[in-house]
Chains A and B, each alone.
Chain A
C-alpha cells in the first residue's frame, strides 16, 4: 500500500506543477495578482507531496519490502538500516526521487526566503522551477518509477553494491544534487528576468546568493565524492578524470564563472548578456551530466544500469529546456544593454579573464569527455583520453587563472593603473616567490611544475593577506569607521571575508594538489610475516593477518606496524572483504591521516601461506585538497550572509509590477 501511495503522490505533484508552471506565469504577463499569488502556496504543496512520496520510498527500503522492484534490486535484509536509507538513492530510480526532492526543496526555499522579490518576478521564477520539476516528474513516472512492484516477490534483495556501503553514500549524493539542482535556481532567475525584461543590477543582486549557495553545495558534493573515491575505491588518487567526475566538474566550472560574472553584473551592470548565458549553460551542463550518467553511454562507477529509453527522454528534456531558454535569450538579448564601460586594466577585465579561462577549461573537459563518446556512437573506433591529456591542459590554464585570482581582487573597478597595482602587489609577489623556493628546498627539491604550483598557492594566500592589510589601514578608516585595526577587521563586509576565505581555500587546495602530485610515492611489495619495507622514511612491518566477519561480509584483516626513526607512529589494519550476497571482493584500505600527509595501505593478493602483496602509499598533504574545498564552499556561504542581501529593497527601485512588467 505504501508504494502505491507514493506513486499516487507523484501523480498529484504532476497536477500541482502543471498549475505552478502556467497560472502564475500567465498571471505575471497579464498583471493578475491573484494568479501570481498561487505560486507560493503551490510550492508548499509540491514539497509536501514529494516529501511524502520520498518517505514512502524510504519506508519501503527500511521495512525491507522486497515486493518493490527497486528495493529488491538494491537492498537486502542483512544490510544495516543506515545503508538501507542510503540505498533508497543508490539506484537510478531512487536517485531521481532525491533529485525531485531537491528540486521541490529549492522551489520552496525561493518562495520562503524571497520576501523582498516583487511578486511578478517571484511568480515567473517559481513557474519556471515548476516546469523544470514537471519535466523530471514525467521522466520518473514514464521511464523510472521507483515504486514498481515485482512478482513473484523475492525472498531477499540483491543487496546494495558493496562499494556504495559507506558513509560517503549518505552525504555525497544529497550534497551533489543540492548543487546540481541549485543551478536550476540560477537558470530560473535568468529565464524569469528574460521573460520580464528586467535584467538589471537588481536581478543580479537577487540571483547572486542563490547561485553562490548552489555553487557551495556543488563544491562540497564534488569534494566529498573525491574524498570518498580516495578512501573507498582504493585507487589511491583523489581525481581520475572519469567521465562522471567530469560531468560534475563542467557545471562547477561554469557556476564558478557565473558567481564571478554576477559580481560584475551587480556592481557595474556589465556582463549581463554573458551572465544570463552562463546561467543557462550551467543548468544545461547539469542536465548533460544527468544524461551521461543515466543513458549508459559511459562506463564508470557512477553509471546506472542503462535503458535507451531513459537516455532518449533526458536528451529530449535537455533539448527542449535549452532550446526554449536560448530562443528566449535570442529574442530578449538585444534589450539587455551593455552596462558601464571599463578600462583595459580594471577589475572587470580581471573577471573577464577569469570567465574566459574557466570556460576554456570547461570546453577542454568537454572535449576530453564527449569526443570519445561521439566517436564510439558513430562507430569510428574506440579511444580513451586519460589523465595525461587533462593534466597537460589543466596545469597551464589553472596557473594563469591563479595569477589573475591574485591580481583581480586587488585591482580597482572601472579603471586602474599598472604602477599603482604593482605597488599593491609587490610584497605579495616577493614573499610568494621566497616562500615557494623555501618550501621546495625544505622538501628536498621540486621541479619546475612543483615550484609553479607552490608559487601559485602562496601567491593567492599573500594577495589575500595584502588585501586585508590594505583594507584595515587607517587611510581606509573612513569607509570602515573603527579606531583600531581590530575594530576595522571586525567591520569588514562579510561578502569580502567570504571571498577571502574561499580564495585562501583555493590556495590550500593548490598546495595539497602540488605536494601530493610531486611527492606521492606508491610501492607494491610482497610481504610475509615480520617482513618490512621502508617508504619515505616510514618503515612498514607486516604482522600477519586473520579472518574477521562483518554484518554482511567476510574479511581477511592484515596488521601492519609503521615506525619512523625506531618510534612506532601507527598501526594499520587493511582488509580484503567478500560481500556475502553479491560474492564481490572488495579492498578496504587502511589510512592513517595526519595533517602533513596520509599513510595508505591496501591488501593486494595472497601469494602463499600468510604472504600477501601489499600496496603502500605515502601521500603528503593530501587532506589539504578536501579541506581547501571545504573552505571554498564555506567562504561562499559566509559571503551570502552579507548585510546587503538581507536588506529589503524599496519599492521604487524594484522592477515594475504586474501590468507594467507585462508591457515591457
Chain B
C-alpha cells in the first residue's frame, strides 16, 4: 500500500499546486485586462472611470499643443473627440491626422495617458483606431471619402512599432 500512498501524495500535491497557480494566473489576468473604447463610447460614458483603458482614433488636426514635457492633443473618431494629456516624449510616428492609441485613465473629462502608441508607417494605422473610425462613420451618414479610404487601408493592418510611455518594469 505504501508506494500507492506515495503516488497519491505526489499526484494530489501536484494537482493542488497546479490549481493554486491556475487561480493566481486567472486572477492576475482578470485584474490586468485593458479594454479599448472609441471616443464615441467615451463620450457616452461607457468607459470605466476608475480603471485604465485604451482609447484610439486620429489625432485631430491642429490639436497638438506642447509645453515642455507636457503635451495635449485631441483624439477623434470623426464623430466624437477625447482630450488627451500626456507627459513625456511621443513616438516617432505620432502626427496630426494620423492614427493613435493611448492607454491611461480618465480624470474628469481629460484622458491622462500613461502610454501612447502610434501607427507603423504611412499606409497603416492601429487596427483599434481604424475600427473606431469605421464604427463612428457607420453611425453617421456623412462620410468623408479620405478618412474612409484610410480606414479601409488600415483594415489589412499591421500595427504600431513606435511606442512611448511607461518604462517596462
Contact = CB atoms under 8 A, between A and B. Distances in A.
The judgment on whether A and B are partners is yes
B157 A299 contact: yes
A214 B114 CA distance: 39
A34 interface: no
B122 interface: yes
A520 interface: yes
Given A299-B127, A585-B92, A382 B35 contact: yes
A333 to B, nearest CB: 19
A296 B161 contact: no
A15 interface: no
A83 to B, nearest CB: 17
A227 B165 CA distance: 20
Interface string B122-147: 10001110010000000000000000
Interface in B10-45: 10, 14, 17-18, 21-22, 24-25, 28-29, 31-36
B158 A300 contact: yes
Nearest to A526: B68
Consensus secondary structure, chain B interface: mixed
B156 A344 contact: no
Interface in B79-125: 87-90, 92-93, 103, 121-122
Given A304-B158, A364-B25, A582-B122, A385 B34 contact: yes
B168 A239 contact: yes
Interface stretch (A144-152, A387-395, A500-508): A387-395
A371 B29 CA distance: 10
Contact of A381 (B6, B32, B35, B157): B35
A5 interface: no
A383 interface: yes
B150 interface: no
B18 A356 contact: yes
Contacts of B6: 343-344
A295 to B, nearest CB: 11
Contacts of A526: 68-69
Interface in A370-405: 371, 381-389, 391-393, 396-397
A545 B161 CA distance: 26
Interface residues of B, number: 47
A235 B118 CA distance: 13
A382 B128 contact: yes
Interface in B151-169: 156-161, 163-164, 167-169
A524 B35 CA distance: 28
Nearest to B38: A382
B121 A584 contact: yes
Contacts, number: 131
A236 to B, nearest CB: 6
Given A524-B69, A582-B121, A584-B93, A384 B34 contact: yes
A474 interface: no
B14 A384 contact: no
A607 interface: yes
The size class of the interface chain A forms with chain B is 35 or more
Interface string A292-309: 000010111101111000
A299 B160 CA distance: 7
A360 B17 CA distance: 11
A587 interface: yes
Contacts of B161: 163, 233, 300-301
B104 to A, nearest CB: 12
Contacts of A235: 163-164, 168
Nearest to B93: A585
Contacts of B32: 385-386, 388-389, 392
Q: Among B17, B103, B158, which residue has the most Cβ atoms of chain A within 10 A?
A: B158
Contact of B167 (A371, A393, A396, A522): A522
Contacts of A233: 161, 163
Contacts of A392: 28, 31-32
A360 B22 contact: yes
Nearest to B168: A237
Nearest to B35: A383
B49 interface: no
Given A301-B161, A363-B25, A587-B92, 16 more contacts: A235-B168, A240-B163, A305-B156, A343-B6, A356-B14, A356-B17, A382-B54, A384-B36, A385-B34, A389-B32, A397-B21, A524-B89, A526-B69, A584-B121, A605-B90, A607-B66
6 cross-chain pairs, A with B, having the tightest CB-CB distances, nearest first: A299-B159, A604-B89, A237-B168, A389-B32, A382-B36, A392-B28
26 contacts: A236-B167, A237-B168, A296-B156, A296-B157, A298-B159, A299-B157, A303-B159, A305-B158, A306-B157, A343-B6, A360-B21, A382-B35, A382-B54, A382-B131, A383-B34, A383-B36, A384-B33, A384-B103, A385-B33, A385-B34, A389-B33, A393-B25, A397-B21, A524-B88, A587-B92, A607-B68
Interface of A: 161, 163, 233, 235-237, 239-240, 296, 298-301, 303-306, 341, 343-344, 349, 352, 356, 360, 363-364, 367-368, 371, 381-389, 391-393, 396-397, 517, 520, 522, 524-526, 582-587, 602, 604-605, 607, 613, 615, 617
